[in-house]
């Protein structure tokens, strides 16, 4: 079976030779391409496909997108990071920070020492890790 005009939606539609409407839409698309106006180029392709279906009997092809239920899991090959920053202070935040650590207990110990030294008691804690999207098995 041979492909008919408009079957491949991954390629720009081709105008039918001798059709003024097709030629006008093709010129509109080419002008948009020269101007690097992707939106206008896409609009011209959509209008040309519609015209091909309505006036020249091109088949209606639709893409089907299916939902794939990926699972988000922590990347076991990368260690998570923990950190804390002191946000105590009267006029402005203290700003002292623990820096990134691989163990939350190290960050908590830094907070205890900082509180003992400064009497600051308010911290912003951060946790960062890498996630991997796993497809269903």
* pLDDT, tens digit (0-9, with 9 covering 90-100), for 43-92: 999 999 989 988 888 776 666 777 888 999 999 999 999 999 999 987 88
Instruction: State pTM to two decimals.
Output: 0.48
Q: Domain residues of the chain, as ranges? A: 1-65, 71-134
Across the range 26-52, mean pLDDT stands at: 92
Range 108-114 contact pairs with CB under 8 angstroms and sequence separation of 24 or more: 110/84, 111/84, 114/86
Question: What gap in Å lies between CA 64 and CA 66, rounded to an integer?
Answer: 6
């Amino acid at each position: 079976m041979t492909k008919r005009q408009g079957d491949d939606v991954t390629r720009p539609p081709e105008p039918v030779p001798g059709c003024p409407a097709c030629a006008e839409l093709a010129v509109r698309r080419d002008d948009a391409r020269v101007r690097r106006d992707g939106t206008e180029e896409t609009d011209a392709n959509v209008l040309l496909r519609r015209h091909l279906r309505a006036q020249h009997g091109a088949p209606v092809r639709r893409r089907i997108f299916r939902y794939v239920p990926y699972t988000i899991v922590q990347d076991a090959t990368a260690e998570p990071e923990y950190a804390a920053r002191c946000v105590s202070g009267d006029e402005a935040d203290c700003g002292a920070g623990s820096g990134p650590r691989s163990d939350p207990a190290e960050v908590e110990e830094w907070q205890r020492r900082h509180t003992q030294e400064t009497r600051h008691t308010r911290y912003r804690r951060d946790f960062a890790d890498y996630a991997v999207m796993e497809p269903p098995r």
